[in-house]
């Protein structure tokens, strides 16, 4: 099979497209013929050697994929050869075949494309866990989503709307604002403005009123995170998903006390590994919503495997709205 291989951590150019032996599933494992794999920002950190979990080299990166079950190991009961599945793994998705645990392999709806299944990947469960598990969303609440034109951002807009929330999306350009509105945002605020600290608050409160925002989902960090704290409602919740801006912000504990607010973290993959049965229930919900037309990932582009550098560079250079996928089979 063909696979993208990391032999030495470093720039994207260190990746190699090579012929490698086909893997075989062990007990409780599933071998997937991969058709599409999603590109996630953490994949770039894995390639560069700066992510918190790094496989033994050489390895193939890639955390979510979609394809067809090629074979199953002993004890597998959740799927069979020939089934179309979406799957998640800590690594291995940027290859034409990947072995995954049966509990992280999910039968796809018949009408779902491989590109859509891969693009839903970890973005949509992240959105659901952020809002429901960590944020404890209640009917009628308002949700602010930062970085709302990214993969997790668009997923969170759609999931929040499926739950019935009023959604405020923060974005950094007119093009991204239009995309956020197209995907269901009720209000859009801009972060590419002078005096972000005050301008952000003024825009948000003009949209939802002086009470502010009940739940904030933040994959951005930095100055946007700091500005978001100024618009959180009494007893509001801010869920930290990532730090795409680069700076990891700090919060004075006194603010949490006086506003009675909660600052929560979400590392979605920990749920996948520690509570896979909960993730499976969420996946079923998301697939049902997809089949009902309530959610649909925005796949900006699908690159053939040979053009993997173009796909990865687009994410690295922040030129992506929605999701990029790599099609491993033509």
Helix axes 276-291, 151-163, angle to 10 degrees: 80
Domain annotation covers residue 128:
no
Range of the domain at 312: 2-121+297-327
Asked if residue 292 belongs to a domain, the reply is no
Locus of tokens 């199953």: 72
Mean pLDDT, rounded, for 83-111: 96
Asked if residue 144 and residue 84 are part of one domain, the reply reads no
Q: The CATH number of the domain where 117 resides is what?
A: 3.90.180.10
Question: What is the pLDDT, as a whole number, of residue 128?
Answer: 98
Please report whether residue 282 resides in a domain: no
Cα 322 from Cα 256, distance rounded (Å): 32
For residue 244, the model assigns a pLDDT of 87
Where does a domain end: 266, 288, 319?
A: 266
* Pairwise CA distance, residues 213 & 200, whole Å: 12
Q: Is residue 150 located within the same domain as residue 204?
A: yes
For the stretch 137-178, pLDDT in tens is: 999 999 999 999 999 999 999 999 999 999 999 999 999 999
pLDDT for 48-96, tens place per residue? 999 888 999 999 999 999 999 999 999 999 999 999 999 999 999 999 9
101 and 189 belong to one structural domain: no
**Buried b / exposed e along 118-143 (16+ C-beta atoms within 10 A):** bbbbbbbbbbbbbbebbbebeeebbb
pLDDT of residue 306: 95
The confidence band for 263, taking pLDDT boundaries of 50, 70 and 90, is very high
Same domain, residue pair 148 and 209: yes
pLDDT for position 190: 98
For the cut 90, the answer to whether the pLDDT of residue 330 exceeds it is no
Per-residue pLDDT at 187 exceeds 80: yes
- Average pLDDT rounded to a whole number, residues 41-54: 92
Count CA within 13 A, CB hemisphere, residue 22.
12
Q: How confident is the model at residue 245 (pLDDT cuts 50, 70, 90)?
A: confident
Task: Please provide the DSSP assignment of 130-188 as one string.
Answer: IIIIIT---TT-EEEESSTTBHHHHHHHHHHHHHT-EEEEEESSHHHHHHHHHTT-SEE
Contacts of 182 (CB under 8 A, 6+ apart): none
30 and 64, same domain (yes or no): yes
Q: What is the pLDDT of residues 226-236, one digit of tens each?
A: 999 999 999 99
Q: Is pLDDT at 237 greater than 90 in this prediction?
A: yes
| Domains identified in the chain, total number | 2
Contact (Cβ atoms closer than 8 angstroms) between residue 227 and residue 170: no
Asked whether residue 180 is assigned to any structural domain, the reply reads: yes
- Average pLDDT of the chain, as a whole number: 96
In the predicted model, is pLDDT for residue 199 greater than 90? Answer: yes
Full-model pTM: 0.95
**196 has a pLDDT exceeding 80:** yes
Mean pLDDT, residues 299-303: 96
For 11, residues 6+ apart whose C-beta sits below 8 A from its C-beta are 48
Q: Are residues 228 and 191 in the same domain?
A: yes
Q: What percent of the chain has pLDDT over 70?
A: 100
CB 327 within 8 A of CB 303: yes
pLDDT value at residue 219: 95
Share of the chain above pLDDT 90, in %: 95
Residues 19 and 116 in one domain: yes
Domain boundary among 266, 289, 317: 266
CATH number of residue 207's parent domain: 3.40.50.720
């Amino acid at each position: 099979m063909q696979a993208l291989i990391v032999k030495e951590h470093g720039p994207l150019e260190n990746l190699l497209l090579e012929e490698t032996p086909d893997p075989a599933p062990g007990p409780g494992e599933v071998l997937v013929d991969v058709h599409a794999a999603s590109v996630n920002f953490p994949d770039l950190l894995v390639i560069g050697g700066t992510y918190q979990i790094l496989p033994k080299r050489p390895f193939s990166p890639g955390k979510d994929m979609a394809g067809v079950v090629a074979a199953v190991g002993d004890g597998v009961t959740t799927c069979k050869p020939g089934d179309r599945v979406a799957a998640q793994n800590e690594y291995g998705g940027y290859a034409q075949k990947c072995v995954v645990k049966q509990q992280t392999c999910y039968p796809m709806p018949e009408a779902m494309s491989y590109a859509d299944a891969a693009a839903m990947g970890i973005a949509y469960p992240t959105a659901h866990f952020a809002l429901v598990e960590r944020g404890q969303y209640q009917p009628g609440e308002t949700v602010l989503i930062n970085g709302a034109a990214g993969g997790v951002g668009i997923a969170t807009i759609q999931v929040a709307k499926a739950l019935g929330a009023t959604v405020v999306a923060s974005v950094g350009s007119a093009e991204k604002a239009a995309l956020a509105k197209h995907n269901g945002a009720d209000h859009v605020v801009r972060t590419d403005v002078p005096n972000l600290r005050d301008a952000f608050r003024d825009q948000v409160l003009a949209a939802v009123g002086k009470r502010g925002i009940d739940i904030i989902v933040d994959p951005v960090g930095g100055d946007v995170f700091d500005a978001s704290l100024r618009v959180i409602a009494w007893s509001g919740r801010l869920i930290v998903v990532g730090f795409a801006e680069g700076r990891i912000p700090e919060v004075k504990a006194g603010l949490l006390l006086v506003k009675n607010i909660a600052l929560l973290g979400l590392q979605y993959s920990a749920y996948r590994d520690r509570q896979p049965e909960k993730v499976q229930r969420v996946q079923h919900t998301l697939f049902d919503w997809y089949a009902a037309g309530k959610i649909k990932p925005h796949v900006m582009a699908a690159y053939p495997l040979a053009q993997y550098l173009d796909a990865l560079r687009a994410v690295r250079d922040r030129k992506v709205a929605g999701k990029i996928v790599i099609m491993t089979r033509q």
